[in-house]
Amino acid sequence: MTKRTFVYGATILLGANLLNRILGFAYQYLIMINIGGEAYGLFNMVFPIYMLALVITTAGIPLAIAKMVSEEVSLGRISHAQSIFRLALWLLSISGALVSITLYFLSPYIAHRIFSDPRVINVFLICTPAIFIVSISSVFRGYFQGLQNMVPTAISQICEQLIRVVVGYIAALKLLNYGVEWAAAGLALGMLAGELIGLMAIVFQYQRARLKISRDGPASTFSSRQILSRLWKLASPVTIGRLLATGLSSIDAIIIPLRLQVAGYTAREAVTLFGQLGGSAFTLLTFPSVFTFALATSLVPAISEATVKKQLSVVRARSAEAIRLTVLIGIPCLIILFYFARPLTAFFKSSEIAPILRILVIGGIFSYVQQTTTGILQGIGKVHLPVLHSIIGAVIRIPTLIYLTGLPQWGLRGTAWAYALGFIIMAILNIMAISRYTGMPLDLQRFVLQPAFGGVGMLLVFRCLDPILSGQVIGYLCQFSVGIVVYGTILFLNGAITFADLRRLPWIGKFI
């Protein structure tokens, strides 16, 4: 079995996630321009409830599969890893089917009693079968993640996103003639089709790899009870954390439109603003998280492997490297988002949302660090800590959001400040916990000062070039390119990036 580093796996997922995010970026643009923020707002109102159902269904098991498989493979017990996979597949197939069927029949009640706009009923009905599909595909992704083979997941995600974009846009555009609610249903149909194709892609790859993998190792001595006990121990804190996160998203989807109405907006204006917040501001803010998501996904099995072998120095080194890489990638992205907030949001015909994006950017780096550090804590077995930190953050964020969003002079700006505050609290608590349990030093020079110098240089480039090149897409692209080159050059000069870092990249590294 090929040995892969977590940087290699993160890079593979980064490539796939970057392509997916570009496709998603184009998708959001087409939706906001040709279909409108109201349709996306209706779809976005259902999405948190859909994610909440997914968390209940999968119960954190995919992450537990990745961790358990990684541990078994590192000890040479491949057949044990396969036993874990088979039992988890049966378990999530049954739970996915039960939750999908139950929600399908309860959807009329949920649409009228929970959501502020009953037009979401068709969106909700289409989303329910996707729960069963995603439950199954998550088992396969967790299994390959545990093997530190990110290629099947990457291919599956690309197939899923391609179908989602094509089917979702065409369906929404065709159904828009029947009303905004039907256009939103078209977006949901694209998501369902994408999930189905993504599942088919990863199952096909598993079938190709199964015979090769199954020849390794002795016969399994794991009982189903042992596997279930271990799965539950690892999955339950993750389940609570994801239930909390998706529950908070669901609450936000209900609270924000209602509080905007208190601030003086009509119901339709509130739904449209909420759609612009998700479809424009958060789409832009989360674009750089393609890297942190890939890094966090690769970190869990890589750090689990080092932990089970009691290689604490490796855990410290990988943790520090992951945080450093997150900051190095995040800072230039956030500077671009902050400085060019108005033209970027105007691209989505949502230029009024630019001040909201600038506020979110202030907490953006903490959002990316929080995602990476959550992966580290899960890898070292402290899966309960991100949950605790999320609760602490939520206790502060939600009252702030409710109060500020309802003020006429704040509105969505208050919402953005509440989100930024939550990101900061969770990231700081995660870093403190990692330092406490692993002994990882808080290297301010490498984590903060070196990237900050590069960011200042990049900002100065924008200040000089913007009066000359602004106003055209080519001009903005030239500014981005020159700024990134200057940023990278400064990082090389101050030692933040070395040739050793580049040599570890797949494909490119061997030429350096």
CA distance 333 to 344: 12
**pLDDT band at 211; cut points 50, 70, 90:** very low
Give tens-digit pLDDT for 321-355: 888 888 888 899 899 999 998 888 887 777 788 89
What is the pLDDT, as a whole number, of residue 81? 80
Looking at residues 82-96, what average pLDDT do you find?
87
Q: Are residues 355 and 493 in the same domain?
A: no
Neighbouring C-beta atoms of residue 395, cutoff 10 Å: 12
Task: Work out the widest C-alpha separation in the chain, in whole angstroms.
Answer: 69
Contact 24, 293 (CB under 8 A): no
Q: Is residue 58 part of a domain?
A: yes
pTM of the predicted protein model: 0.70
CA 301/CA 241 separation, integer angstroms: 19
Averaged pLDDT for residues 430-434 = 93
Domain boundary among 415, 442, 469: 442
- The pLDDT value given to residue 3: 44
Cα separation, 361 vs 268, in Å, equals 27
Check whether 315 has a pLDDT greater than 50: yes
Q: pLDDT tens across 389-413, in order? A: 988 998 999 999 999 999 998 988 9
Does residue 1 belong to any structural domain of this protein?
Answer: no
Name the most confidently modeled range: 148-157, 163-172, 471-480.
163-172
Mean pLDDT of the chain: 82
Any domain includes 506: yes
Tell whether 377 and 471 lie within a shared domain.
Answer: no
Asked if 164 and 86 count as a contact pair (C-beta separation under 8 A), the reply is no
In this model, does residue 418 exceed pLDDT 90? yes
Which is more confidently placed, 260 or 145?
A: 260
Max mean pLDDT range (153-157, 196-200, 383-387, 447-451): 196-200
Average pLDDT, integer, range 375-400 = 87
Greater model confidence, 238 or 96: 96
Q: What is the pLDDT of residue 124?
A: 84
Mean pLDDT across 442-468? 88
Q: Quick check: is 405 in a domain? A: yes
| Same domain, residue pair 94 and 205 | yes
Would you give the end-to-end CA distance of the chain in angstroms?
26
Task: Based on the fold, state whether residues 434 and 473 are members of the same structural domain.
Answer: no
Total domain count, the chain: 2
Instruction: Label residue 7 by pLDDT band (50, 70, 90).
Output: low
Asked whether residue 269 falls in the same domain as residue 168, the answer is: yes
CB environment 278-296: b (16+ within 10 A), e (fewer): bbbbbbbbbbbbbbbbbbb
Does residue 220 or residue 113 have the better pLDDT? 113
Contacts of 260 (CB under 8 A, 6+ apart): 269, 270, 273, 274, 405, 411, 412
> Are 259 and 277 spatial neighbours (Cβ–Cβ below 8 Å)?
no
DSSP string, 235-259: HHHHHHHHHHHHHHHHHHHHHHHHH
CB atoms within 10 A of CB 410: 17
Residue indicated by tokens 């055209």: 472
Q: Tell me the two tokens of residue 490.
A: 């400064």
Domain boundary pick from 442, 465, 495: 442
Rounded CA-CA distance 76/73 in Å is 5
| pLDDT at residue number 417 | 94
Does residue 473 share a domain with residue 438? Answer: no
Tell me the pLDDT tens digit for each residue of 123-132. Answer: 888 888 999 9
Q: Interior CA angle at 508 toward 22 and 489, to 5°?
A: 80
Residue 422 has pLDDT above 80, yes or no: yes
Please tell me the predicted confidence (pLDDT) of residue 502.
64
One-letter amino acid for residue 32 of the chain: M
Considering the domain architecture, whether residues 349 and 485 belong to the same structural domain is answered as no
Percent over 70 (pLDDT), the chain: 89
Q: Are residues 370 and 465 in the same domain?
A: no
Q: What percent of the chain has pLDDT over 90?
A: 22
pLDDT in tens, 169-205: 999 888 888 888 888 888 889 999 999 999 999 999 8
Distance of CA 83 to the CA centre of its chain: 29
Q: Are residues 198 and 134 in the same domain?
A: yes
Tokens of 116: 């502020």
Secondary structure of residue 124 in the 3-state scheme: helix
What does the H/E/C string look like for 372-396?
A: HHHHHHHHCCCCHHHHHHHHHHHHH
Does 407 reside within a domain? yes
> Could you report the per-residue pLDDT of 52-77, keeping only the tens digit for each?
788 778 767 887 888 788 777 777 77
User: 426, 442, 458 — which closes off a domain?
Assistant: 442
Domain holding 41, by residue range, is 6-442
| Residue 345: inside a domain | yes
Residues written for the chain = 512
Same domain for 174 and 270, yes or no, is yes
Same domain for 437 and 449, yes or no, is: no
Is the predicted pLDDT of residue 486 greater than 90, yes or no?
yes
Whether 85 and 162 map to the same domain: the answer is yes
- For residue 2, what pLDDT is reported? 42
